[in-house]
């Protein structure tokens, strides 16, 4: 979807202190033989800080950096990939109570690791539909996860990645700002739906009976069944093809060529996954990615790409005139992309003369 005219007013990024991978190896939590294979450096660990409080802190930072009052918000989208609090409780209302008040449409998005990218697409569409009255409108997209719970092992969450805790927030608006969301889009590969389900029954749901989440086991079961049924790697090929398709379509909608892209943020996965699934198909080198930064934090659920965006702005690795491509994959399987153009130094960076 073409989203030109949708501006990024502020960003928030909350990432706890990472635990080094060497420490996890010494504690017997991470396999020593995988250190050299995957080249991961650590995982951010929030301890007992609730994900909703991480989200609140990220949202507060985004509003502060933008110099925008929270009470002027029109839409709040809260993305998550793991449990946020008590069953039956909705985390977006935690932010409404402590931040924006009750006159805002607030919704939770359960799109897994693609929640924030999907939220950008939805929020941009919402803002475009609200411009008829001639006044400025704003939407907040928040993502947060804390994986430090008994039913998941962050150090063995899946093949080629570990889970890190963190949160991000993106404040979008219709008035010009330092960066512009040019396009955002998603595609699905529904034939790969079983990849994140494996052989687990749909009922009763695993968390209701204390069944741990095991993506590695589910993925192995899915591949085993595909071989037995003769379907082979058709779904995996479909994911590859549709990944390129969503990138090409989003770039076209943004009016930007791949050669114009300065940096790319993918999931905080292992070096070989980032290279093989993201960069090689695009014909880009590893240096164009944010892998070296993300490898130290772990896969932050919904927040990888926005946290990397914030890092690139602060370090000056994205400058006015640069284009930034965000790519994500979520259970479903969903594939998402977004293109951002940087117009000026972010107000909270040293490049703008303001300390963070």
Is it the case that residue 71 has pLDDT exceeding 80? yes
User: What tens digit of pLDDT does each residue of 247-300 get?
Assistant: 999 999 999 999 999 999 999 999 999 999 899 999 999 999 999 999 999 999
Q: How confident is the model at residue 134 (pLDDT cuts 50, 70, 90)?
A: low
Which of 15-29, 181-195, 219-233, 334-348 is predicted least confidently? 219-233
With a pLDDT cut of 70, the percent of the chain lying above it is 96
Q: Do domains 2-177 and 183-344 have the same CATH topology?
A: yes
Return the pLDDT at 60. 97
pTM, 2 dp? 0.94
Mean pLDDT of 78-90: 95
Task: Give the C-alpha separation, 48 to 31, whole Å.
Answer: 25
pLDDT, residue 234, reads 67
Per-residue confidence at 352, pLDDT binned at 50, 70, 90?
low
What average pLDDT does this structure show over 48-70? 96
Selection from 319, 322, 187, 180 nearest residue 248 by Cα: 187
Q: What fold, for 2-177?
A: Peroxisomal Thiolase; Chain A, domain 1 (3.40.47)
Tell me, what's the pLDDT at 231?
Answer: 66
pLDDT of the residue at 354: 40
Q: What pLDDT digit, counting tens, does each position of 94-112 carry? A: 999 999 988 899 999 999 9
Options 3.40.50.20, 3.40.50.2300, 3.40.50.720, 3.40.47.10; CATH for 183-344 is 3.40.47.10
Q: For 141-153, what is the mean pLDDT?
A: 96
Confidence at residue 353, expressed as pLDDT on a 0 to 100 scale: 47
> Which residue ranges make up each domain of the chain?
2-177, 183-344
Residue 356 has pLDDT above 60, yes or no: no
Q: Which residues of 224-251 are buried (b: 16+ CB within 10 A; e: fewer)?
A: eebeeeeeeeebeeebbebbeebbeebb
Report whether pLDDT(355) > 50: no
Q: What is the mean pLDDT of the chain?
A: 92
For position 350, what pLDDT does the model report?
79
């Amino acid at each position: 979807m073409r989203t030109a005219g949708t501006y990024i007013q502020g960003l928030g990024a909350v990432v706890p202190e990472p635990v080094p991978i060497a420490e996890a190896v010494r504690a017997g939590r991470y396999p020593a033989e995988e250190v050299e294979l995957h080249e991961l450096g650590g995982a951010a660990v929030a301890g007992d800080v609730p994900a909703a409080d991480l989200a609140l802190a990220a949202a507060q930072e985004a509003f502060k950096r933008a110099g925008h009052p929270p009470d002027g918000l029109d839409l709040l989208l809260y993305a998550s990939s793991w449990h946020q609090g008590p069953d039956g409780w909705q985390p977006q209302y935690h932010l409404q109570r402590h931040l924006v008040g009750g006159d805002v449409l607030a919704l939770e998005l359960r799109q897994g690791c693609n929640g924030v990218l999907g939220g950008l697409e939805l929020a941009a569409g919402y803002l475009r539909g609200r411009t008829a009255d001639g006044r400025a409108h704003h939407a907040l997209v928040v993502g947060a996860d804390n994986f430090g719970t008994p039913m998941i092992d962050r150090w063995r969450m899946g093949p080629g990645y570990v889970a890190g805790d963190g949160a991000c927030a993106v404040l979008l608006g219709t008035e010009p700002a330092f960066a512009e969301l040019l396009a955002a889009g998603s595609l699905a590969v529904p034939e790969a739906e079983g990849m994140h389900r494996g052989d687990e029954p749909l009922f009763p749901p695993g968390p209701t009976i204390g069944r741990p989440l095991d993506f590695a086991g589910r993925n192995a079961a899915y591949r085993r069944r595909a071989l037995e049924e003769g379907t082979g790697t058709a779904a995996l090929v479909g994911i590859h093809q549709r990944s390129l398709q969503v990138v090409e379509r989003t770039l076209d909608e943004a009016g930007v060529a791949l050669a114009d892209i300065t940096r790319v943020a993918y999931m905080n996965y292992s070096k070989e996954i980032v290279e093989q699934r993201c960069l090689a198909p695009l014909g880009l080198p590893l240096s164009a990615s944010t892998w070296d930064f993300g490898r130290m934090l772990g896969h932050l659920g919904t927040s990888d790409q926005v946290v990397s965006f914030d890092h690139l702005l602060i370090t000056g690795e994205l400058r006015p005139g640069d284009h930034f491509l965000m790519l994500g994959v979520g259970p479903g399987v969903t594939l998402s992309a977004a293109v951002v153009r940087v117009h000026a130094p972010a107000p909270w960076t040293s490049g703008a003369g303001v300390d963070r």
